[in-house]
Amino acid sequence: MAKAMYVPKESQQKQGSQGASGRPRDGKRKMVAQNKKARHDYAIIDTYEAGLVLTGTEVKSLRQGRASLADGFVQIDGGEAWLHNAHIPEYSQGTWTNHTVRRKRKLLLHREEIDKLASKSEETGHTIVPLALYFKDGRAKAEIALARGKKEYDKRQTLREKQDRRESDRAIAAAKRKQRGE
């Protein structure tokens, strides 16, 4: 009979640090949908990661990489955060149990975060917008942001800065190529 080997406590893995498959969790994000227009139309003040309450067919549809956040917004109602107008298409192999495409979905946040978002969103010009839908450790998550609407001149300024940065990067890359003799 073999003796059990002693393993120091420091080198043991913490309980819960493994996924259902027994492999360690790495925390990587599998992106499903992004709301690029939100970053253009709004000045992002603060971002939050929220869990989503979904049905089975919604999860399967998201795993196929099908979703749109273009018209989505977040509303605080009765002390709970809700994601409205996020388009998750019906699951193709679904039956009569398929979900409604644009139903409101509950967001899972801590009470302090909900209270902070509720008080800030009541201020003039502030809103809560969804930025991304993704899977993290096998769970569907939504990245939401407290944002303030940009004026037209702010949008133009942002575009100008982006173009200037791109031009300077190109000039630096061209100078480096020239220096190497390519």
Whether residues 107 and 172 share a domain: the answer is no
Whether residues 143 and 164 share a domain: the answer is no
Burial of 90: CB neighbours in 10 Å, binned 0-12, 13-18, 19+? middle
DSSP H/E element including 121: helix 111-121
Cα 88 from Cα 171, distance rounded (Å): 42
**Domain that includes residue 172, residue range:** 151-181
pTM flag (> 0.75): no
Per-residue pLDDT of the chain (182 residues; tens, 9 = 90+): 555 555 555 555 554 444 554 445 566 778 888 888 888 788 888 889 988 888 788 888 888 887 888 888 888 888 888 988 888 887 777 667 766 667 888 889 899 988 888 888 887 778 888 998 888 888 888 898 888 887 777 778 888 888 989 999 999 999 988 888 76
Which DSSP category does 14 fall into? Answer: P
Phi then psi dihedrals of residue 106, to 5 deg: -75, 135
Whether residues 143 and 157 share a domain: the answer is no
The token duo for 60 is: 């399967």
Residues 6+ apart with CB under 8 A from 79: 111, 114, 118
Residue 6 counted as domain residue: no
